[in-house]
Amino acid sequence: MKRTWWKEAVIYQIYPRSFMDSNGDGIGDLKGITSRLDYLKYLGIDVIWLSPIYKSPNDDNGYDISDYRAIMDEFGTMEDFDELLNEAHKRGLRIVMDLVVNHTSDEHKWFMESRSSKDNACRDYYIWREGKDNSTPPNNWGSCFGGSAWEYDKTTNMYYLHLFSKKQPDLNWDNIEVRNNIFDMMTWWCEKGIDGFRMDVISMISKTKEMPDGEMTDFYGDCSPYCIHGPNIHKYLQEMNEKVLSKYDIMSVGETPGVTTELAKQYAGEDTHELNMVFHFELVDTHGKYGKWTDEKLPLTDLKKIMSHWQTELYGKAWNSLFWDNHDQPRAVSRFGDDTSGYREISAKMLATCLHMMQGTPYIYQGEELGMTNFPFQSMSDFRDIESINAYKEWCESGQVSQEAFWPCLLFRSRDNARTPMQWDDTPQAGFTCGSPWISINPNYTEINAKSETADPDSVFHYYKKLIALRKQNPVIVYGRYELLLSDSEELYVYTRTLDNEKLLVVCNFSGRETDFAIPDEFVGKACLISNAENTYDKADIILKPYEAFVLSNK
């Protein structure tokens, strides 16, 4: 297995809108991020992934880009970006950009041209089809944000495809000019000195030419067989790799809905010349009662099965990315741990141990290192996220589900849980802004915030800091082989990592109960690298505390 910097790195995701506001308009910005670089350096991370900062009308918080070479007005200027990049590099931190090229904003100049007439030079940059008749879309496909995936455009009396909102028209990657424009734009950012790309829904860029109706789901037809891992996906990624990625010392991570381990070996194989790693959604996008919407926790045995499958299948062949949450997911501790008081900190540390001891590159989503929790939404007016708002309309206002039944699912799964502002201190607005924030601050900021946690050596923050440091000191954490023990346990997640003569035992109690555990002989009395509980591990039979986690080394 080749050793590389991005395999050894820990990545921190910033959602700029909610990270730090420098000018009091209630919206996080680039100067705000720059002002907090020392905090990230102190935590010990290596790479920052910035969610989109490009010019955008913000229909989907920057995932709808109207100019790839300009900065969103609210976030600052290109000079602010250059300063951020420069200050980050000075501290040895790298910056990875979000690359959103499955679609643009409908306000991008390419789309404005494209929609203007059938013979415009940019017409074929997007995916246009005739309707079945004047008032029926070309097929039954549904968009990921609800409603049809087709929008009628009266100027030319045709429909355009949008797998996300109607303000996010899909680009036509089969058009070579589109690809070349994108590759040029990527090169332009690389020449600026950025350190990589996180590629938004990159598994969806190649579509089949034929676009038949999809199998019916709850409201619309399923487009995924025609739009995910499409016919030319690997060809286009190899082309991108050859023309851009391979020319720079940068990293690439694909967001690849629908990816399996088999496909990941192609997308992110050691020698396939596409991407360095991919995000899979087998764990976080498990289907619920109503599409993605559910309020149920995943059984631990299912969680272990999914994680273990990826750990073992990719080993030596492709590289894993490790994450519990991101800007599209609820907060990790609320979803997989226990955010009720008394257990929040210990379960957040347990989850961190479980993930950071695995094989792959770990991602920390802003605030996760503080054990930030889901938000106690009171009414629909608390939501800002287009997906949550549309889902509520589609499921409840249509009468399909009662509001009482849907509400807990929104609370448990809404993307806005992750988007409330970073909690910096216990002053009003959590030190995020001196104005009025664009989305509510979680009222628990007086208790959960960076200032108090950086001052407390037992905090979740310091625990993350220690885990990150351990990864730097122990190659077995990065490169070791993974093996699952006790696969049937509904309480314990136990695995080993092995590299040459070195072996680690990782034990995590996912339950809120005391649980018996027998330490395997080879680890009894051996060094404890980290533990979230005051316990001793020098005899075989021990009783684990609720949410206890520890790591032993055979050395």
Q: How far is the CB of 385 from ligand TEU (least distance, A)?
A: 9
Q: Which of 140, 403, 168 is nearest to 290 (CA)?
A: 403
Q: What would the DSSP string read from start to end of 104-171?
A: --TTSHHHHHHHH-TTSTTGGGB-EE--SBTTB-SS-BBPTTSSBSEEEETTTTEEEE-SS-TTSPBB
Q: How far is the CB of 63 from Ca ion (least distance, A)?
A: 19
Q: How far is the CB of 263 from ligand TEU (least distance, A)?
A: 15
- The nearer residue to Ca ion, 327 or 349, going by C-beta atoms, is 327
Q: Does 258 bind ligand TEU (CB under 6 A)?
A: no
Residues 83-142 close enough to bind ligand TEU by CB under 6 A: 100
Has 255 been annotated as catalytic? yes
Among the listed ranges 18-26, 254-262, 403-411, 492-500, the one in contact with Ca ion (CB under 5 A) is: 18-26
- The nearer residue to ligand TEU, 292 or 545, going by C-beta atoms, is 292
Q: Which of 460, 492, 465, 274 is nearest to 370 (CA)?
A: 460
Q: Does 77 bind Ca ion (CB under 5 A)?
A: no
Asked whether the beta carbons of 282 and 321 are under 8 A apart, the reply is no
Asked whether the beta carbons of 337 and 547 are under 8 A apart, the reply is yes
d(CA 53, CA 189): 13
By the 10 Å C-beta count (0-12 exposed, 13-18 middle, 19+ buried), 92 is classed as: exposed
Residues 397-426 close enough to bind ligand TEU by CB under 6 A: 415
Q: Does 67 bind Ca ion (CB under 5 A)?
A: no
Which one among 27, 48, 161, 237 touches Ca ion, defined by CB under 5 A? 27
Q: Does 29 bind Ca ion (CB under 5 A)?
A: yes
Q: From the list Ca ion, ligand TEU, none, which binds 151 (C-beta under 5 to 8 Å, kind-based)?
A: none
Q: How far is the CB of 162 from ligand TEU (least distance, A)?
A: 10
Q: Which residue pairs, CB below 8 angstroms and at least 24 apart, start in 345-350?
A: 345/371, 345/459, 345/460, 346/532, 346/533, 346/545, 346/546, 346/547, 346/548, 347/547, 348/460, 348/463, 349/460, 349/463, 349/532, 349/547, 349/549, 350/508, 350/509, 350/510, 350/532, 350/547, 350/548, 350/549
Q: Does 60 bind ligand TEU (CB under 6 A)?
A: yes
Which one among 285, 295, 425, 483 touches ligand TEU, defined by CB under 6 A? 285
Cα Rg of the chain, angstroms: 23
- The nearer residue to Ca ion, 29 or 394, going by C-beta atoms, is 29
- CA angle, 226 then 231 then 237, to 5°: 120
Which one among 97, 122, 171, 201 touches ligand TEU, defined by CB under 6 A? 201
Has 106 been annotated as catalytic? no
Q: From the list Ca ion, ligand TEU, none, which binds 548 (C-beta under 5 to 8 Å, kind-based)?
A: none
Q: Does 495 bind ligand TEU (CB under 6 A)?
A: no
Compute, in degrees rounded to 10, the torsion defined by CA atoms 360, 364, 365, 368.
Answer: 130
Q: Does 144 bind ligand TEU (CB under 6 A)?
A: yes
Query: Which residue among the candidates 80, 200, 274, 548 is catalytic per the annotation?
Result: 200
Q: From the list ligand TEU, Ca ion, none, which binds 29 (C-beta under 5 to 8 Å, kind-based)?
A: Ca ion
Among the listed ranges 13-21, 329-337, 446-454, 467-475, the one in contact with Ca ion (CB under 5 A) is: 13-21
d(CA 544, CA 555): 23
Binding site for Ca ion (CB under 5 A): 21, 23, 25, 27, 29
Binding site for ligand TEU (CB under 6 A): 60, 63, 100, 144, 164, 200-201, 255, 257, 285, 292, 327-328, 387, 415
Any idea which residues carry the catalytic annotation? 200, 255
